[in-house]
Amino acid sequence: MLHGGHLLSVVIFFPAVGALALLLLRGDDHKFIRVIALIVSLAEFLFSLLMIRAVPIGAAGYHLEEYLKWINQPPINYHLGVDGISLFLVILTTFLTPISILASWKSIEHRIKEFFVMLLMLEVGVVGVFLSLDLFLFFLFWEVMLIPMALLIGIWGHERRVYAAVKFVLFTMAGSIFMLIGIIWLYNASGTFDLPAIQALLHTPVSQGGLELAPRTEMLLFLAFFLAFAIKVPLFPLHTWLPDAHVEAPTAGSVMLAGVLLKMGTYGMIRFCLPLFPEASRRAARWVAVLAIIGIIYGALVAMVQPNLKKLVAYSSVSHLGFVVLGIFAFHNISMQGAVYQMLAHGISTGALFLLVGMLHDRRHTFEISEYGGLATPMPKLAAFFLFVALSSLGLPMLNGFVGEYLVLLGTYQRHWGWASWAALGVILSACYLLWSYQRVFFGEITREKNRTLPDASAREKWILVTMAIVTLWMGIGSTFITKRTAAATQDVIDQVEPQRAYEASAPHVSVPLAKNTSASAAKAALSERLGVR
Amino acid sequence: MLPRAIDAYRVLPELVWCGFGVLMMLMQPFVRSRHFFTFLALIGTLAGTAASVTAAMHAGPGFGGLVQSDSFSFFFRLLVGAVAFLVVLASGPYLERERLPFAEFYSLLLFAAAGMGVLASAQELLTAFIGLEMSSISSYILAGYRRDALKSSESAMKYFLLGSFATAFFLYGIALVYGASGTTMLVKMDSAELLHSTLFELGLAMILIGLGFKVAAAPFQVWTPDVYEGAPTPVTALFSAGPKAAAFALLLRIFATVPAATHFWFWAFWALAALTMFAGNLGALVQTNVKRLLAYSSIAHAGYILVAFAAVTSMAQGEGGAAKAAPAYAAVLFYLLSYALMKLGAFTVVSQLGGTGEKNLSLDDYAGLSQRQPWVAAALSVYLLSLLGLPVTAGFFGKFYIFKAAVNSHLLWLAVLMAINSVIGAYYYLRVIVVMYMREPSAEAAALGPVSFPIGVNVVLLITVAGTILFGVYPNPVIQFILQPTLLGR
């Protein structure tokens, strides 16, 4: 079964089976529930690793496809498939879920069963989004995942949790309902909800029964999709739900939110906006880039002045995701690969940051930076991990954040040097706010008596952090394992959005050796940049 | 022309419903057992629903074309019958709790069902009028069934006064239409000269006002919140699912047979739809009484259905319109089905949680429900999410088909308005869920302990939840049925 045709279905629905089993358990044996949830999520992680073998290096297109007729009128199919881009996003999801479960081991104290059920259902929705190849199915998972996330924030969150949960749902729904209209419109034009089929139609001349969208229609459709994705990312003027949701969510919720939910937006841009509406994407690119750059700088500046540690990390997400959007809309294979890599790296390092912030909150029940200070003395291990993660987030070479940011800047520079120079400001600023906040939290005198006796990382916390650190380091050094698998898929997207450039552009795999050399050749450039700052 | 046996077959469901209704009135002085009447009412509703199969097997026009038995009326008879059956199931415990007499309630319910059945199968305007009156008059009495409660009497009075006013419009419309066309038979109103006859259009406008009142379309919706709030909650459940469906059925039939109506009504429906959606959703935003909130949400949902009607009118014009409009028809029918399921379920929960005298209706009474009664909270959440239009519920597919119909007929602005309304709607549905799941119960509510849910009510909840999810995952059979080309017997 696992090597046959249904692996993707298993990967999507296995957590649902686990959630159902949890529901049937009695609610008072907390330990047992936690262990079951952890086992389910770990098994799910192993299942998802099996997909790697099925995605050959250098081959674009979808693999492990599953196709089942679902609804006759209009024809909606259960169509799944995985390619280089979605592969690692799914693995990121299935990796972060057990981490989140471990992180919630102690900090969730009431309604424990429901909490883990929601976490697993969230995983179902997110993985489904990444693996759907039918627009309708995609939309279905996209909406389904809202409810578990809203409940995670609203039930187990902090003081203003209800406000944050409702805001999260309303923002997302406002975007997605227009996407639904867009999906239906596209169906009316093409007669199918099937993504590969629509792509094929778009590449067929009209004389042979192909599909060509009028420029105005294409633009409207692009906007309908883009709005939903931009809210999710979130892109600059639409980001206001994010700080609220992050600050109020429990640690596991923040990890999943920052780690994977935001990526659904950027994934949607790569998977749907660019290939389906290439002309409109090209026309909109410069505006999107402007918004992305504003997001990078604005997010970093706001992060810098945050008195609330969790909000600081939340705004850093706005800034980092701006890089991803910029990388996507630069239409260069290297920047696109960088965007994909940045999505993964951000998932790991921001996830780890939220875990650490959550651990601090478990000890002191506050996010205010002013409440901390000098924490390195009572808890040296936690401080060391925090520094490591902060460095990875600000893009220190050899760690994961660097690869993504560097590739984005490199690729963008080759198309629009102006964009890249503005965006590079974000790299500098991220060093400022992360290191400054680190200094305020961990260094200096201990100003609050309570902080003197805080316990250092427990065994469970060490396990979580060591795992995250290993992945961070591995992604910084062994980036080719990922980039060589994403290269073909991203090149395919570029070819679709700019077909005329497909010929002049260098061969699709030129980026692979480049990515290999990142840590060596590019380190110098970035180093000088950083040195210039200090 | 003398009625033949086959004519009786074609109205068999209505005959059975009326027969059981009369039987119960006759037996009421002699039998005291409450269970007996509940049992009889259940048998009656089921028998009538089963009889609609017989009627469907003998498809064709009955009584010289006054009624039409076809797949369309079959669908609505099943719907009305199922609604009546579930309302009987849910109202048994309610009547017992409120100490209200059983027999009259059930017989009125059966008469109302028969009226809706007539309305859904009428092929002639005066027959439709009789159906409308049958269901309306029963409804007026049912609304005021809690005689001792002031609100219930207010509800009945308002409903009666405004309702008879609307019925007068309807009747006057029939008269004008008759004056213009010389017939009350819908099938004979297809002549070309009627297309731009002012008299005929005036008549159609009057009919639209009359039916607009019944379906609670703005600006004729003002009665809805008060009547829904005051009526006994099982009756409210019936109101929101039954008469609305029947009135929409008649509207659809007029569209399918009278070209002039299709032509003339397009902008009327566009405006009605937009107004109704906003009136319902904006009204619901500020409600703190759950029953009233659901009443406003009924108005909003009537608006969504009217969007599909606008799509029907836009598609059905010109050559081959009937075939093009088929998906829009299907959208209406599917929406009515899913809407009946979710509204019925939601009102049943509200009715049971209300407690004796329907005192606990405010949003605060629902605080922390998920901890006191997790299954009830989960069921209510399913209905609310379905009303909201989230996937894996019937409500989502309903909305999806309406969006599709609207986009199909290039009513993009209407689709956008509906999208905006969906988001507004999401807010107040979520508010209820938030209260149930994210707020701690108040001290009094916690002291009360869980409200008991008798077996009949549980069956209703089970059926409606199962239906909501089933049609949300696999709508194929229903869609296939309502998309058949011979839906309206031609």
- In chain B, the N- to C-terminal Cα span, in Å, equals 24
Determine the Cα–Cα distance for residues A317 and A315; give it in Å rounded to an integer.
5
Q: Are residues A380 and A336 in the same domain?
A: yes
Task: Choose the closest CB to B408 out of A140, A154, A188.
Answer: A188
Q: Are the Cβ atoms of A143 and B390 closer than 8 angstroms?
A: yes
Strands of B77-227 (E only): list them: none
Mutation target among A184, A216, A241 for the B interface, most CBs of B within 10 A: A184
**Is the per-residue pLDDT at B8 higher than 70?**
yes
Residue A189 domain-assigned (yes or no): no
pLDDT tier, A528 (very low <50, low <70, confident <90, very high otherwise): very low
Query: How does DSSP classify residue A371?
Result: G
Name beta bridge partners: B289: B362
- The pLDDT > 70 percentage for chain B reads 98
Using alpha carbons, list the distances in angstroms from residue B420 to B417, B424, B431. 5, 6, 17
Chain A residues with beta carbon closer than 8 angstroms to that of B416: 178, 181
What is the number of CB-based contacts under 8 A between chain A and chain B? Answer: 77
Q: Are residues A270 and A418 in the same domain?
A: no
Residues of A whose CB is below 8 A from B404: 74, 184, 187-188
Cα(A460)–Cα(A99) distance, integer angstroms? 11
Residue A197 belongs to some domain of the structure? no
SS3 at position B14: helix
Between β-strands A63-71 and B67-69, what pairing exists: parallel, antiparallel or unpaired? unpaired
- What does the pLDDT look like over A243-289, one tens digit per residue? 889 888 898 899 999 888 999 999 999 999 999 998 899 999 989 99
Instruction: Read off the tokens for B286.
Output: 């500020």
Q: Indicate if the pLDDT at residue B62 is higher than 60.
A: yes
pLDDT tens digits for range B24-44: 999 988 988 888 999 999 999
Hey, what are A378's tokens? 């009572």
A181 in a structural domain: no
Q: How far is A389 from chain B (nearest CA, A)?
A: 33
A178 with B416: Cβ contact below 8 A: yes
A484 and A521: one domain? Answer: yes
**Centroid of chain to Cα B144:** 19
What percentage of chain A exceeds 90 in pLDDT?
28
Measure CB to CB from residue B434 to each of A154, A177, A187 and give the nearest one: A154
Of residues A55 and A14, more confidently modeled: A14
DSSP assignment letter at B183: -
Contact B476 A72 (CB under 8 A): yes
- Asked if residue B431 has pLDDT above 50, the reply is yes
Q: Which of A34-48, B126-140, B198-212, B435-449 has the lowest mean pLDDT?
A: B435-449
- pLDDT value at position B1? 61
Tokens of A258: 């920052």
Task: Tell me the percentage of chain B whose pLDDT exceeds 90.
Answer: 50
pLDDT confidence of residue B142: 93
Give yes or no for a contact between A372 and A441, defined as CB atoms under 8 angstroms apart.
yes
Give counts: helices (H), strands (E), chain B: 20, 2
pLDDT at A521 exceeding the cut of 50: no
Please indicate, yes or no, if residue A199 is contained in any of the structural domains.
no
Look at residue A465 and tell me if it is in a domain.
yes
Q: What is the pLDDT of residue B255?
A: 78
- Single pTM value for the model: 0.89
- Tokens for A429, please give them: 């600023």
Please spell the DSSP secondary structure of B309-333, one letter per residue. Answer: HHHHHHHSSSTTHHHHHHHHHHHHH
- A117 with A260, same domain: the answer is yes
Q: Do A391 and A257 fall into the same domain?
A: no
What pairs with residue A132 in β-bridges? A80
Contacts of A509 (CB under 8 A, 6+ apart): A58, A484, A487, A488
| Structure confidence at residue A449 (pLDDT) | 80
Any domain includes A512: yes
Does pLDDT of A509 surpass 70? no
Using DSSP bridges, classify how beta strands A76-82 and A63-71 pair: parallel, antiparallel or unpaired. antiparallel
Closest to A185 (Cβ–Cβ): which among B407, B422, B476? Answer: B407
Question: Are B235 and B347 contacting, i.e. CB atoms less than 8 angstroms apart?
Answer: no
Compute the distance between CA of residue B349 and CA of residue B346 in angstroms, rounded to an integer. 5
Structure token digits, residue B368: 């922390």
pLDDT, average across residues A100-122: 87
Residues A263 and A385 in one domain: no
Q: Which residues of A touch B392 (CB under 8 A)?
A: 140, 144
Write the residue in A72, A151, A181 that is nearest to B403 by C-beta.
A181
- Looking at residue B484, what is its pLDDT? 80
Host domain of residue A509: 289-534
Number of folded domains that form chain A: 2
Q: Spell out the domain ranges in chain B.
A: 5-482
Residue B246 CB neighbours (<10 A): 32
Cross-chain Cβ contact A166/B431 below 8 Å: yes
Give pLDDT, residue B382. 93
Burial of A170 (0-12, 13-18, 19+ CB in 10 A): middle
Same domain assignment for residues A161 and A302 = no
Contact B217, B135 (CB under 8 A): no
Which chain A residues are within 8 Å of B430, Cβ to Cβ?
150, 166, 169-170
Give the model's confidence band at A31: pLDDT under 50 very low, under 70 low, under 90 confident, else very high.
confident
Residues of B in contact with A166 (CB under 8 A): 427, 430-431, 434
pLDDT confidence of residue B489: 61
Q: For residues A206 and B307, which has the higher predicted lDDT (pLDDT)?
A: B307
Residue that the structure tokens 């009421």 belong to: B28
pLDDT of A534 strictly over 50? no
> Which ipTM was obtained for this model?
0.88
Min Cα–Cα distance to chain A from B439, Å: 8
Mutate to test the interface with B, among A13, A147, A176, A231 (most CBs of B within 10 A): A147
Q: Mean pLDDT, to the nearest integer, of A45-69?
A: 85
Q: Across residues B167-189, what is the average pLDDT?
A: 90
d(CA A120, CA B475): 26
Distance separating alpha carbons of residues B330 and B308, to the nearest angstrom: 9
SS (H, E, C) A26-81: CCCCHHHHHHHHHHHHHHHHHHHHHHHHHCCCCCCCCEEEEEEEEECCCCEEEEEE
* Residue B487: per-residue pLDDT: 73
Minimal C-alpha gap between A17 and chain B (Å): 17
**Which token pair is B13?**
């469901």
| Domain shared by A265 and A341, yes or no | no
Contact between B400 and A144 using a beta-carbon 8 Å cutoff: no
Candidate from A147, A161, A169 with C-beta closest to B438: A161
Please indicate, yes or no, whether residues A296 and A411 belong to a single structural domain of this protein: yes
Same domain, A421 and A521: yes
B141, B120, B144, B118: which is closest to B131 by C-alpha? B118
Q: Does B387 reach chain A within 8 Å, measured CB to CB?
A: no
pLDDT of residue A508: 43
Tell me the average pLDDT across B142-152: 89
> 3-state DSSP call for residue A283?
helix
CA dihedral A44, A45, A46, A52 (to 10 degrees): 120
Tens digits of per-residue pLDDT, B94-120?
888 888 888 899 999 999 999 999 999
A9 and A131 fall within a common domain: yes
Confidence of residue A489 (pLDDT cuts 50, 70, 90): confident
Encoded tokens for A288: 């999107």
Contacts of A178 in chain B (CB under 8 A): 416, 419
Q: What is the mean pLDDT of residues A134-141?
A: 92
Tokens 């068999």 map to which residue? B12
